[in-house]
Structure 1
Amino acid sequence: MAVSPEAPQRFRRIQALMAARMAQQVLRVWRELMNPAKVDSTWPAVRAALIPIVQQGRRQSADLARVAYGDARREAGIDGDGFDPQDPLPLLLSRLESALDVTGPVEFKKAIAAGKTPRQAMEAAAVRMVGSTQYLALEGGRQTMQRSIEEDRQATGWSRVTDGDPCAWCAMLASRGPVYKSAKTAGDPRRGGSTYHDHCACQAWPAFTNNEPFIGIAEKLYDDWLRETRGRGGKHAVNAFRSWWESEGRAAYTAPTHP
C-alpha cells in the first residue's frame, strides 16, 4: 500500500518549523552576546552558548524523523517485525565548532575586509550561521531517514520531498521521484539525491512499494526534466535544466497545499 501524499509534506513542514525556531535562538545569541568591537574576546562565550542549541535541534530533528518513519511503515501496512528506525551519526564537537567559527567570526572579519560596516558584517555572518546550523540540525533527521531506509528490508527506496520554491539543484533531484535502493544512480545525472545544502528545505521520505506515487511537485518536475533535457546527457542535461529552471521554471511553481 502506497503512503498518502499528505504525510511527507507534513513531515517536511514540521522539520522546517523546528529549524526556523532553532534559527531564532541562534540569531538571538549572536546578536545579543556578540560584540563586533571585541570579536576575538567575546566569541568563545557566544560559541559555547550556540553549541547546545544546535545539538538540541539535531536531536529534535532525529526524533521527528524516527516517529515519522514508524508512522510511514504502519500506514504502508508494515508493522510488528521488530524494525527500529536508525539513529543519525554522532555530530563531532570539532565539526560543530569549526562550522560555527567559519560562519561566525571568520565570516564577520571577511565582510569587514570587504568594506562592510560592522552592522552589515554581523548580518552577513548571521545568514551564513543560520544556514550552517540548520544544516547540521536537520542532518539529524535526514540521516535517520536515510540510514533507516538503507537498513530496512521492507523499504524499496525513497523520494526527495521539496517545497514549492527549490533551487535548481533540489528541483532536479526531486524530479527523480521514488528512487530504488538497488539503483541509486543508474547512470542518471541527477544522482546524489540524498545530498543537501545550507538553507535547503528538502527531506527524504521512505518508499515501501515499487509503484510509489510522486510527491508534491515531483511528477511535474519529472515531465519538465524530460522535456528540457531531450537529446542531452550528463552535465549538458544538468546545465539545460538549471538554465530553464532559473529563467522561467521556478516562477511557475507553487507550494504544495496538502494539510
Structure 2
Amino acid sequence: MAGEAQRFRRTQALLAAQMARQVLRVWRDLMNPAKVDGSWPAVRAVLMPIVQQAREQSAALARAAYMDARRAAGVPDGGFDPESPLQLAIDRLEASLDVTGPVEFKKAIAAGKNPQQAMDAAAVRMVGSTQFLALEGGRSVMNQSVAADEKATGWSRVTDSDPCAWCAMLASRGPVYKSAQTAGDPRQGGDRYHDHCACQAWPAFTLNEPFIGIAEKLYDDWLRETRGRGGKHAVNAFRRWWESEGRAAYQAPDRA
C-alpha cells in the first residue's frame, strides 16, 4: 500500500504543479502592474475557473484512489461511495485571490520593491494559496470518507519529497486510528495543511498498518529529539533538530 500512497501523492502534486503554471501564466500575461485595480477583475475572472477545475480534478482523483485502496485492502465494496469534497465558497476563493494578488502586490511596492519584484512576490503567494484550495478538494474527500466509512480504521499522512518541520512532525505519528487517544500529543492535527504543502492523507483499513515513506524513521527521531519534553517544548525541539540537521539527512521518498 505504501507504493500506491506515494503514487497518489505524486499524482496530486502533478495536478497542483500544472495548475500553478496556468495561474502564473494568467498573472504574468494579463495583469498590468501599472493599472492594478483596473486590470485585476478580469484577471480574477480567468483565475477562478482554473482553481475550481483543479479542485474538482483533485477530488475525483481522491475518490478513485480511496476505492482502489479499499479494494487493495480486501474490503468488499458493500455499496460504499466516497464522500464528496467540501464546497468551495465563491467569496472565499475571491478573497484568497484578492489577498494574494493585488493586495500582496501593493504591500510589496510599499515595502520598497520594484514592480517586477512585487509581481513575483504576489505570484509566490498566489500559487501557494491556489494550490491549497485545489488540493483541499482531494484532501477533504479522503478525510470525510475515512470518517464515514465503517471499514476504515484511520489514515496516514504521506509527506511530499521535502517536508517542512511541521509536516515531518505530523507524519511521524504514522497511522492515525479513529479510536486513538491523542490527548496530550503535540502532534495532533494531522489533517492540517498549509500553502505550498503537497502532503496527502491515505486511508487505513487495519489496526496494524505499516508506516509510509519516511514516517517510521521520523517516529524514531521524534522520540529521540523530544525525550523529556512535552507540548510546545517538544514541538520546538523537533523543529530545531529538523531545520539544523534532520532535513538534510533524509533521502526524499521520490528519490529513494
The alignment's TM-score, normalised by the length of structure 1, stands at 0.97
Q: 1:116 is aligned with what amino acid?
A: K
Q: Which of 115, 119, 128 lines up with 1:118 in the alignment?
A: 115
Tell me whether 1:215 sits opposite 2:212 in the alignment: yes
Could you tell me how far 1:182 is from its partner in structure 2?
1.7
Which among 154, 159, 162 is matched to residue 157 of structure 1?
154
Counterpart for residue 75 of structure 1: 72
2:219 equivalent to 1:230: no
1:183-240: CA deviations, max 9, x gaps? Answer: 2623211000000000001000000000000000000000000000001111110010
The amino acid that maps onto 2:158 is V
Alpha-carbon distance in 1 for matches of 2:254, 2:19 = 24
Displacement after TM superposition at 1:254 (Å) = 1.4
1:193-208 paired onto structure 2 within 5 Å: 193-208=190-205
1:132 to 111, 129, 132: 129
Asked whether 1:170 is paired with 2:167, we answer: yes
Matched, 1:35 2:13: no
Point out where structure 1 has 5 or more consecutive residues left out of the alignment: none
Report if aligned partners of 2:24, 2:123 keep a CA contact under 8 Å in 1.
Answer: yes
Aligned partners of 2:254, 2:130: CA distance in 1, in Å? 28
What secondary structure does 1:183 align onto? coil
Counterpart residue identity of residue 239, structure 1: N
CA separation of 1:113 and 1:224: change in aligned 2, threshold 3 A: same
Partners of 1:172 and 1:190 within 8 A in 2 = yes
* 3-state secondary structure, aligned to 2:174: coil
Q: Is this contact kept in 2: 1:6–1:258, CA < 8 A? A: no
* Residue 89 of structure 1, CA deviation: 1.1
2:7 corresponds in structure 1 to 10
Q: State the SS of the aligned residue for 1:112.
A: helix
Matching residue's letter, 1:45:
A
Distance in structure 2 (CA, Å) of the matches to 1:60 and 1:140: 8
- Aligned alpha-carbon RMSD (Å): 1.1
The corresponding residue for 1:248 is 245
In structure 2, the partner of 1:107 is: 104
Shift of 1:257: 4.3
Q: Which portions of structure 1, spanning 4 or more consecutive aligned residues, are displaced by more than 6 angstroms?
A: none
Say which of 20, 23, 26 aligns to 1:23: 20
TM-score calculated relative to the size of structure 2: 0.98
2:255 and 2:110 mapped to 1: Cα distance? Answer: 46
Q: Deviations over 1:18-58 (max 9, x none)?
A: 00000000000000000000000000000000000000000
> Given residue 205 of structure 1, which amino acid in structure 2 is its aligned partner?
W
Aligned residues: 256
Alignment of 1:48-63 (within 5 A): 48-63=45-60
Where in structure 2 are there 5+ consecutive unaligned residues? none
Residues 217 and 256 of structure 1 are in contact (CA less than 8 Å); yes or no, is this contact kept in structure 2? yes
